[in-house]
Amino acid sequence: MTAVTRHDPGPAFRALHQPGNPFILANAWDIGSAKMLAALGAEALATSSAAHAFTLGRPDGGVTRDEALSHAADLVAASPLPVSGDFENGFAEAPDGVAETVRLAAGAGLAGISVEDTIPGVGHAYDFDLAVERIRAAASAARALPRDFVLVARADGVMHGVYDIAEALKRIRAFDKAGADCLYVPLPITRDDLAAVCKATSKPVNALAAGPYTAMRRADFAALGVARISLGSALARVTHRAIRDAAQAMFTEGDFRPLAHSVSGAEIDKLLT
């Protein structure tokens, strides 16, 4: 893969991370969605491993590192905004492999990546010590880069039901000490749990606007101390719902009315250019 040459997106991206004043990290899934989100006011973009897999006709976890890097480079080239990579488990189990992913991600022009502590497609969490060592290696690689790079450490076990919030808090505190720049526990069960995550570190915390958290507004996240709100695959799944609903109406009832709710081609053209 050819490295992307562009300005350093790291400082601008890092500056967006302000606890209590969260920005929305808009997860795109192709060049068109990246351009539209940028034109509509996004301050930064991110890939989504699940949404990218959907575009390839695969389930979440079905994308290789090389594919993720190539896809990320496409999004980086699509707009001047910083782009963060949703890079699953770092596409490696061994700490050295995760560190290499950090270096490759920087070469693709990304402003940062997130690394999970669970195995894609399986959901099992890495043992605590290995999970911490993986983040330590990633952080060391990030700090050795010739430019800024925001490393996000994710504790995904609560979302997958493999450990509780107490273990998640233990992990993010350890990830913090290991050098992570931002901490992330996707979908803690309660708002109090999310507040506890924010209180467990002085570093920025990412929250996911999905599931029950879609009922919250930006001000609600801000009040808890969140610094960044990502969308994951939620926006992509909204588009898939539109496809499903329209297709069901057409193919089962011969009803084309759902198509009347589409955006005009002229408006899309304007946003893309």
pLDDT tens profile 116-149? 999 987 779 999 999 999 999 999 999 999 999 9
Residue 50: count other Cβ atoms within 10 Å of its Cβ: 23
Q: How confident is the model at residue 3 (pLDDT cuts 50, 70, 90)?
A: very low
- Give the Cα-Cα-Cα angle 91, 227, 75 (nearest 5 degrees): 45
Measured N-to-C along each axis, helices 265-272 and 31-39 cross at an angle, to the nearest 10 degrees, of 90
Is 82 buried (19+), middle (13-18) or exposed (0-12) by CB count in 10 A?
buried
What are the phi and psi torsion angles at 212 (to 5°)? -65, -20
Q: With beta carbons less than 8 A apart as the criterion, state whether 192 and 198 touch.
A: no
- The one-letter code for the residue type at 258 is P
Residue type, 32: G
The 10s digit of each residue's pLDDT in 213-270 is: 999 999 999 999 999 999 999 999 999 999 999 999 999 999 999 999 999 999 999 9
For the chain, how many residues are written?
273
Helices H / strands E in the chain, number of each: 12, 8
Does the predicted TM-score (pTM) go above 0.75? Answer: yes
Answer for the pair 103, 145: CB distance below 8 angstroms, yes or no: yes
Check residue 20 and give left, alpha or beta (phi > 0: left; psi -120 to 50: alpha): left
CATH number of 10-272: 3.20.20.60
Q: Where are the domains of the chain?
A: 10-272
Contacts of 262 (CB under 8 A, 6+ apart): none
* Mean confidence (pLDDT) of the chain: 95
What pairing do the DSSP bridges indicate for beta strands 228-230 and 205-208?
Answer: parallel
Burial of 160 (0-12, 13-18, 19+ CB in 10 A): middle
What lies within 8 Å, CB to CB, of 148 at 6+ separation is: 8, 10, 11, 13, 14, 111
What's the pLDDT score for residue 123? 73
Cα angle 225-46-93, degrees, rounded to a multiple of 5: 90
